[in-house]
Amino acid sequence: MAGNSLVTSVTHTEAKATTGKQKPYWVEFQLVDEQGDPVANMPWKAESSHPVSGPVDNFTYTGQSDADGFIRIDMPHGLELKLTLNSNLLTEEMEKRSLRVGRDPIKDSTVRPKAEKNGHVWHYAVVGELCHEQPDLQLSDGEELPLFHFPISSSFQGVKIRTNELEKRHVIEICPFRTWELVLHHQNDYSMANAINLGLASDLAYDEIDIIKKYFINKCQDLSTIPSRKIGQSTINALVVDVPYSERYLIPIDIDSTKTDDPEGDTQLYYVYNNSKIVIAWRGTASLTDGITDASFRPVESDSCNIKSECTSLVPTGKVHTGFWAGYTLIERMFKNQLNELSNKIEGRDLFICGHSLGGSLALIHSARLKESKPLLYTYGMPRTFTKNAVDVLSSITHYRHVNDQDPVPSVPPEADLDNQLYKLWGPLGTTLGFLWSVVELTAWQIGEWGDCFWHHGNTVAFLTITQSRKWQQCSIELPYPRNCMTIQTRLPEKVKLYLVPSLALQEAKQSGQDQKAFKASLTKEDLQEFFPEGMNPNRGMPANVGNHLLTSYMPYINNKLLGLAYEKGVSDGKSFTEHAEKVASFNLQMDYYSGEIPKKEFDRNKKFLSLEDLLKNSLSSTISAASGSDALKRFGHYGEEDMENV
């Protein structure tokens, strides 16, 4: 009875087979996705052979799953069976299906409990385990089949049913053929999704390209959990949505001035892209050469020339930090073809640029060069890069600049003019003399005399620790009236670190149709200008702390705040409160209790800051309204852990 081929019924258990009378043995399958929805009209093949006589008694069954995803096979004998599905049609169909939130195939499955309650056998399978052969995927140079979906040990082997598993229904839950994509919103308004994901991208820029590739290829294609990265002692998860595998990230590309036949300088960036988005991340200070670049802050004209002596100017007016400009133009000079290729890939995609420290300054310069492509820029702890006149010219670039408490780097170069005559009068010696002159704050008349000065570009995002104090009168004699009194002022114990995005207040007023005086809690445009002066840093009122400059300090705080917002939005899988929220609540209680003794200016400022932080929930609007955005936040809350806040 060699090579028997039978077309079988796809009806339910009680139905008769379509070929002759009812066979003595049967097995049923139901194909569903992670949501429990049927995988219908899927061509399948089942094969069985006698364990002793082998090919002599080989049986092949074929058919197509019905509208409910059911397959029924009636057999003349109880041989072991292997079920496989059409590879191309399966991968094509499962690209369209979405993932459930939890990624543990056993604990988080909603299909399994129902199947087992009904007495069925439950299986979980990735597409590679069900495919009968390798599908025709469009892989680029250097790409391989994704290991999560095509595990080496079990791909193309099908679902095997032993003899004692016949006479049963087997529910096969199929993992969708998807991949992770960072949630990024190309918009003018601030986004917490952008903040955490572009911060992660900035941190990756410090690694070798092999590690960057593993993140965007291996981790973003591994659906067993969401992508995470260790930053210092903290594990920072990305905020991700699942997209079809065909919309995956392609292999990241690095551009490194130290890795050429004739290495020069020490400037690096990488970029990664998929069908709709491209992310460019510049590396920050990581070597002595970078440190020299940071310290070389004479302002110069932003002119660059190529090997054909064709020169271009970045901005028509104003100047740029000479060290940062030299680092950037080094890349333009050494990698002209690669940058042209990058420009071609930007076309038709949303452009995101990011960087930390020196990387932020290089990212701003690159954004200025790519201004016509409408880059969206997020930076972390970056120094000043352009003089005020140049910053004004670049005002159309949407840029959110994060400043963490006592981080000293955003305070350099100083807010005083650096384009002074000492550079011009003394030649090479003028660079040294000019540096010494520049670190001294200039008076108003000096600024006026020397001209343009360095300013910050973009919208400030400040992580500020705020405190409050108690002030009261203590008298040695109280009766018959107070005498010998003295004023005592002490700092109260509760303090809190707030996440302040001034532009959210302006956005709130604009969207509500109110004028500036109707800001929440009387937060006015004048207040914002006082606390967050344009082109400058917020007055942090505390000594510098180099530890606040590291991404190991920035990223855990962004992570904590995003977790809190996810819980607040009610998409956190049952969790509702974070340590940060408790600190804010305690700080508020302290303010209320001592309201009559806290200096008015301090009390009013802190109330306004608390109102401003409360607006941060608006930064999730785009995420929540996007397809699968709520699921992304649920996953982030499900897998996230809050770091202890040290304030």
Encoded tokens for 478: 């109280």
Q: What is the dihedral of CA 471, 476, 478, 483, to 10 degrees?
A: -90
**What are the strands of the beta sheet with 459-466, ordered from one edge?**
253-256, 268-273, 277-282, 350-356, 376-380, 398-404, 459-466, 496-500
CA distances from 484 to 61, 157, 476 (A): 103, 92, 6
Span 240-280, pLDDT tens digits: 999 999 999 999 999 999 999 999 988 999 999 999 999 99
Q: Where are the domains of the chain?
A: 4-176, 181-415+453-488+538-562
Portion of the chain with pLDDT greater than 90, in percent:
60
- The phi, psi pair for 530, rounded to 5°, reads -70, -45
Q: How far apart are CA 197 and CA 199, in angstroms?
A: 5
In the predicted structure, residue 310 carries a pLDDT above the cut 70:
no
Average pLDDT for residues 617-645, to the nearest whole number? Answer: 90
In the predicted structure, residue 35 carries a pLDDT above the cut 50:
yes
pLDDT at 4: 53
Q: How far apart are CA 589 and CA 570, in angstroms?
A: 24
Q: Which amino acid is at 277?
A: K
Q: How far apart are CA 303 and CA 320, in angstroms?
A: 10
CA distances from 116 to 29, 39, 454, 567 (A): 14, 19, 68, 32
pLDDT at 535: 75
Residues 6+ apart with CB under 8 A from 39: 31, 32, 33, 65, 69, 93, 94, 97, 174
Average pLDDT for residues 282-292, to the nearest whole number? Answer: 65
pLDDT at 126: 98
Span 408-423, pLDDT tens digits: 888 877 665 544 444 4
Which of 316-320, 494-498, 573-577 comes out lowest in average pLDDT?
573-577
CA-wise closest residue to 146 among 176, 114, 166: 176
Encoded tokens for 141: 């140079």
Portion of the chain with pLDDT greater than 70, in percent:
80
Q: At what angle do helices 322-334 and 336-346 cross, to 10 degrees?
A: 90
In the predicted structure, residue 451 carries a pLDDT above the cut 70:
no
- Looking at per-residue confidence, does 516 or 336 come out higher? 336
Encoded tokens for 339: 């940058």
Burial code (b: 16+ CB inside 10 Å, e: under 16) for 532-569 equals beebebbebeeeeeeebbbbbbbbbbbbbbbbbbbbbb
Residues counted in the chain: 647
Average pLDDT for residues 381-397, to the nearest whole number? Answer: 92
Average pLDDT for residues 553-573, to the nearest whole number? Answer: 85
**Can you tell me which residue has the tokens 């030649």?**
427
- Looking at per-residue confidence, does 551 or 17 come out higher? 551
Q: How far apart are CA 442 and CA 413, in angstroms?
A: 13
3-class secondary structure for 518-577?
A: HCHHHCCHHHHHHHCCCCCCCCCCCCCCHHHHCHHHHHHHHHHHHHHHHHHCCCCCCCCC
pLDDT at 309: 46
Average pLDDT for residues 523-527, to the nearest whole number? Answer: 69
**Cis preceding linkage at 252, omega within 30:** no
In the predicted structure, residue 440 carries a pLDDT above the cut 90:
no
CA-wise closest residue to 426 among 441, 412, 436: 436
Q: How far apart are CA 526 and CA 530, in angstroms?
A: 6
Average pLDDT for residues 317-346, to the nearest whole number? Answer: 93
In the predicted structure, residue 428 carries a pLDDT above the cut 70:
no
Residue pair 643/556 in contact by the 8 Å Cβ criterion: yes
pLDDT at 275: 96
> Confidence band (pLDDT; 50, 70, 90) for 537?
confident
Is beta strand 350-356 parallel, antiparallel or unpaired with respect to 376-380?
A: parallel
**Longest Cα–Cα distance in the chain:** 118
Q: How far apart are CA 105 and CA 174, in angstroms?
A: 10
Distance of CA 274 to the CA centre of its chain: 15
3 state SS of 303: strand
DSSP secondary structure letters along 481-501: S-EEEEEEEEE-S--EEEEE-
Encoded tokens for 394: 């670049």
Span 137-183, pLDDT tens digits: 999 998 999 999 999 999 999 999 999 999 999 999 999 999 999 99
Average pLDDT for residues 295-316, to the nearest whole number? Answer: 63
pLDDT at 53: 55
Encoded tokens for 269: 């960036």
Instruction: Answer whether CATH 3.10.20.30 is correct for domain 181-415+453-488+538-562.
Output: no
Q: Hey, CA dihedral for 500, 200, 190, 284, is it positive or negative?
A: positive
pLDDT at 216: 98
Is beta strand 25-32 parallel, antiparallel or unpaired with respect to 159-161?
A: unpaired
Encoded tokens for 89: 């049609």
CA distances from 8 to 25, 61, 81 (A): 13, 7, 14
pTM: 0.88
Q: How far apart are CA 82 and CA 287, in angstroms?
A: 58
